[in-house]
Structure 1
């Protein structure tokens, strides 16, 4: 080798189909199989729950279109982190990556992994709830398996994404067709007076949105891997415009099918509404829905893994994380150190993990940063109209999404204040304690140099180039 440091590049392996699969495959995960009962429980009526599902789909579509403009103006991987960095500066970007890497992404992965594990072991514990230790061990195995796949081969990870998306669409198609049959047979009782009992208080609406938006999470994942997307100027908005409306329509049809079979009370008392639906409609084949829900969650976990490791990778490349996390494997050309680090943190979060708590915490924190990111888009539209844009949205769209984000962050606090939200807010801003001495003033330079060199040799990684 010569004396120069060789820069590696991540491969552009993600095409339009892969991009659609990454979005839809991550969105269709545990949520649609487990969240409908929580949505109807919070909002109080079947009709209002369907309105919530439609509104969340519209919100995800508007937010993703705004992100598409950001992604074609700032053509770098990293999603919210890189957009906040380029528009709001380093301190704000560090607060995001600190919260995201330490808690939000790992919490999301742990929540999806728990959902996968609960459904995977359900056929073996038909008469009683599965033990927590068994569920968490299976969830840990799922995380470790996907860590290996994503570290070894991007192409294999994308093939898994496409496969699991097909499996999810098949399982949801079974539910939709079953619902159509039930409606044709006259099972429409639950749609009569469907708005009776609707809760209109701010907290109930906010929590219903939280539970529903968990099912739509993943609409922004493609922005995290822009540098690995073929022809991003075209494929980024095109994948969004195909995947998100498709998922929204599917979600509405699936919820109609649930309501055609189950009463609101039956839905609210179920721990996994898709499994309850399967046992009632499919009879002896009810186990199919448990397997389908497990496969769906596993595919969603793969998508979260794929994009989450890239955000950590980009943050390290910008100097906000240890240098070792900005390196790629010399043969596989994958950001393996970042993926390994994300795996480790996710396993730690998994130990005390509780599904519902994870959903509420994730949604509150995520929408705080989604709103912050779109404030950056407003800044670029107003102050930098000269920047080349191959895809533009009307300025009203990001304004509407920012208003929705403010509502989602403030609503649960106004109507039903809880100390947990204060803890979350304090945690977000506690990152400044790390940023000021170690990032801004660069205290203790070289502290990690020896560890970095050792890990670089051990993991067979080298610095990766950001200019593709």
Structure 2
């Protein structure tokens, strides 16, 4: 069957599409599993690794906390947009596969091509693998070589891919268990600040630092450069990344609309409260200069100062385990995004990559995710690679966020009768759009003294990110416009059902004659 390109879902069968995509017996995720999938995705390396860099960029305690507060509000605005989309289009794929495709069916194939390029080029899980390796070596007081560090990070990524690709239910059980470990750990860090205030366990090796919260000192050395503030906000967004993680796998969730309406706000409240308390704990226990120079090991310094050698070993090891749990949930979700892209015919070997054989898991999508992750971990030199990865991931993400938020307003005008069990507050949508525009422009405003939080040209991450976007547009133009014009053919879609019941869409060439 061939047909002209239409929006991914017709309005009349938005809700009916889910049972065709995933049979009821294949809906593995309960409410608790969905909550853990979101919380474990959100609470990853961000709160353990980014506060030191944010404080270094902001320069002061007050501005650092203000950045976290602003980032939390903006994350809530972004979540509201995702919730409205998730309730309108409750199927697997999320904003980059379902929402953009449905909202922007013209130019033909552009949205899908941009998503496919971004998923392949930037769809990696490297940052948490790096944090896992760093905290593991830190826990055992080992000074690793660069090669050893990369081997451990790649080993984690390989193990996670094998587990999710060959042992689906085991992988879900493991990531649920690690999710609870992660919640316990961030809870311990968050309550540490309250414990320090109440018990005041100051000894000769733990000088009181509570004076950083006096109004006279908490704003000292604040750096209000928008360039540096924008990269700090990107890191806060990274710390909240995954609040809409359940949207990527709604085809596998029981009662998807109800789950979106309850799981997402619960995860935001959980993460926001724990993040704020964790930052307070860092400032109460670790001297400000040590935080600025801590790199990704600020949580390790906190436990070392509080609990000595025991804290230096056990808690950093727990952080490493929680980072591994984050790798598991990110890989779980992004593999299904890649599978959805393959089902639409925008990856080569779409039959192979779309299938869930032989283990009932998206092994092809996992492989597509594994390759760029492996390259990003193995190829760049150590040093500022962690911060650079976060910035490069975050910048193009603002382009997609802008398209999704703007598309929501477009859909409200274009399809006002579309069922919307949840409707985002309009000022929140406009605020999200304004911040996206501001963050996209920020890298081109030089920071004070021309120094950024990495040892590169301050706009390098933006140049690389926009390079990926431009490459996607050029790739779309070549394979959908230029080559068909030269070859005298046009592209059409042909539906096919695989042996395992999954429906895919093949892109086929049709001669103009």
* TM-score, length-scaled by structure 1: 0.89
SS in 1 for 2:355: strand
**1:140 is the counterpart of 2:154:** yes
**1:116 is the counterpart of 2:147:** no
Q: Which one is further off, 329-338 or 167-176?
A: 329-338
Equivalent residue for 2:121?
Answer: 103
**In structure 2, how many angstroms separate the alpha carbons of the residues matched to 1:220 and 1:54?**
19
The match for 1:292 among 315, 318, 329 is 318
Q: Is the 8 A contact 2:388 2:461 kept in 1?
A: no
Equivalent residue for 1:450?
Answer: none
Deviations 1:351-390 (A, max 9, x none): 1242111011111111221111111111111221100111
**1:279 is the counterpart of 2:304:** yes
* Alpha-carbon distance, 1:28 to partner: 0.8
Q: Which one is further off, 195-204 or 183-192?
A: 183-192
**In structure 2, how many angstroms separate the alpha carbons of the residues matched to 1:48 and 1:466?**
50
Equivalent residue for 1:158?
Answer: 172
SS in 2 for 1:329: coil
Between 1 and 2, higher relative CO (CA 8 Å, sep ≥ 6) is seen in 1
**1:232 is the counterpart of 2:256:** yes
SS in 2 for 1:386: coil
Q: Which one is further off, 281-290 or 90-99?
A: 90-99
Equivalent residue for 1:346?
Answer: 373
CA gap 1:154/1:377 in 2 versus in 1, 3 angstroms: farther
* Alpha-carbon distance, 1:439 to partner: 4.4
* Alpha-carbon distance, 1:145 to partner: 1.0
* Alpha-carbon distance, 1:39 to partner: 0.7
* Alpha-carbon distance, 1:400 to partner: 1.1
SS in 1 for 2:90: coil
Equivalent residue for 1:31?
Answer: 46
SS in 1 for 2:72: helix
Q: Is the 8 A contact 1:312 1:325 kept in 2?
A: no
**1:217 is the counterpart of 2:241:** yes
Q: Which one is further off, 87-96 or 75-84?
A: 87-96
Deviations 1:382-429 (A, max 9, x none): 221100111112222211111111112211223356254234213212
Count of residue correspondences: 444
**1:301 is the counterpart of 2:327:** yes
**In structure 1, how many angstroms separate the alpha carbons of the residues matched to 2:224 and 2:87?**
39
Deviations 1:43-89 (A, max 9, x none): 11112211211221222122112101101112222112221111112
Write out aligned runs for 1:9-408 (5 A). 9=22, 11-81=26-96, 82-89=98-105, 90-106=108-124, 109-126=125-142, 128=143, 130-185=144-199, 187=208, 188-192=210-214, 193-271=217-295, 272-285=297-310, 286-322=312-348, 323-324=350-351, 326-330=353-357, 332-353=359-380, 354-408=385-439
**In structure 1, how many angstroms separate the alpha carbons of the residues matched to 2:398 and 2:313?**
35
CA gap 1:337/1:289 in 2 versus in 1, 3 angstroms: same
CA gap 1:151/1:440 in 2 versus in 1, 3 angstroms: farther
SS in 1 for 2:361: coil
The match for 1:427 among 468, 477, 481 is 468
Q: Is the 8 A contact 1:150 1:334 kept in 2?
A: yes
Q: Is the 8 A contact 1:20 1:243 kept in 2?
A: yes
More helix by share: 1
**In structure 2, how many angstroms separate the alpha carbons of the residues matched to 1:220 and 1:92?**
23
SS in 2 for 1:218: coil
* Alpha-carbon distance, 1:180 to partner: 1.4
**In structure 1, how many angstroms separate the alpha carbons of the residues matched to 2:39 and 2:158?**
23
SS in 1 for 2:254: coil
Q: Is the 8 A contact 1:136 1:350 kept in 2?
A: yes
Deviations 1:4-42 (A, max 9, x none): xxx984721112111111111011111111100011111
Deviations 1:329-370 (A, max 9, x none): 345322111112211221122212421110111111112211
